Amino acid sequence: MNRPKVVLVAILCALIVVVAGWALLRPNPSLSDPASTVAGVSTCRLSTLPPQVAVTVRLIQTDGPFPFPRTDGVVFGNREGQLPEQAKGYYHEYTVITPGASNRSTRRIVTGGSPLTDPPQYFYTGDHYDSFCVVPDVKARG
């Protein structure tokens, strides 16, 4: 190969690397809706969560019946401080069934805001409130 062709191939390769890097590092709006993001809380898509989460979301949107009616839908106090501070009564918690568990286990959906059947915020915890992610892609019922 002669020198001009080698230089041209090198420039082309460098351009491909730069474009690929830019595509990988730029924000992806399909992964996060800025209006739904919450400061300090990571984002997780509904499709990446256990399938029982979607079942719980449907139960919330249809007002049950819930598997644990005495504890599902109660006010969540956010005592751990993992979610943004809000007025008492803003957050409500719901059990996400864990297959094989004989009790409520550790998975929950915590909603924020009202109405209770169509809240503007959904949060998921798989570790009993040690960490949360906001679920921005829950579709409004209807």
* Burial tier of 30 (Cβ tally within 10 Å: 0-12, 13-18, 19+): exposed
Cα torsion 123, 49, 63, 136 to 10°: value is 50
> Is residue 85 annotated as part of the catalytic site, yes or no?
no
Q: Which helix (H) or strand (E) holds 60?
A: helix 51-61
> Is residue 128 annotated as part of the catalytic site, yes or no?
yes
Beta strand ranges found along the chain (DSSP E): 42-43, 74-75, 91-95, 108-112, 121-125, 133-134
CB-based contact 49:124 (threshold 8 Å): yes
Pick the closest to residue 87 from 114, 68, 50 (CA basis).
114
The single residue of 80, 85, 92, 128 carrying the catalytic annotation is 128
What are the residue numbers of the active site? 93, 128
